[in-house]
Amino acid sequence: MGLEVERCGRILLVRMARPAKRNAIDGSMTAALDAALNELDDDPELWAGVLSGTPTAFSAGTDLVAGAGAATERGGNYGVVGRDRNTPLIAAVEGIAYGGGFELVLACDLVVAARTARFALPETARGLVANCGALFRTQRALPRNIATEMLLTGQPLGAERAWTLGLVNTLVEPGEAEAAALLLAERVCANAPVAQRATLRALADMVADEDARGWSATERAQRTVNMSQDATEGVEAFREKRAPRWNGR
């Protein structure tokens, strides 16, 4: 399964644990993430959640060999990025948050990152398109030109610059992200849960139309890419550990 779930008082700690795969998400992890976040939203005794990874990686995104499995009814892709959540969720990032891993971060409400963390969207380097919310959430979390650069070049953004640009709420030393995220979650839990949930609902309602347009635009982009020879070549090149040979078709 590759997922560890722990209750810390009123906080649910959800830790991705496939270190050999840099926490790449396969079908079993998608199902497990969905179940964990269902628990977070459905249990009135849980007032905040923390999503973390291992010391060297938050998540490398989709397991391109095994696939990430089907989108879930409540959570969408990965069981997370399409979720209509009621309970605050904090990302605790060590190491890389690449591709779908960064899209998991963007789906959270707050971000704690180690100084050595890195964020990237390398999908176009594989002939693919970011299809789990990054096309619209990245430019919400970062200045538009920075978001566009990440999407078009695939180059990583370091945590210190991400903190300066406002993506990261709390910047900590390596190895401290999960503990710092739990402390932030405790501060969240010190406030009234009904008010917290109402606040999240209001924030979500204010961008609901924008999100709907974003998902529609993402689907159109994905359909275009899925019909291309470059998408097949990009994935094959990744599996064969060679440079892709693009033909632009």
Separation of alpha carbons 170 and 119, rounded Å:
15
Question: Which residue in 73, 103, 149, 240 is the catalytic one?
Answer: 103
Rounding to the nearest 10 degrees, give the CA dihedral for residues 42, 47, 52, 55: -140
**Cβ neighbours of 243 (radius 10 Å):** 8
Q: Is 103 a catalytic residue?
A: yes
Q: How far is CA 164 from CA 9, 138, 232, in A?
A: 32, 15, 37
Report the C-alpha dihedral over residues 70, 73, 78, 83, rounded to 10 degrees: 160
Please count the other Cβ atoms lying within 10 Å of the Cβ belonging to residue 193.
Answer: 18
| Closest among 18, 38, 42 to 29, alpha carbons compared | 18
Q: Which of 123, 173, 178, 219 is catalytic?
A: 123
Catalytic residues: 103, 123
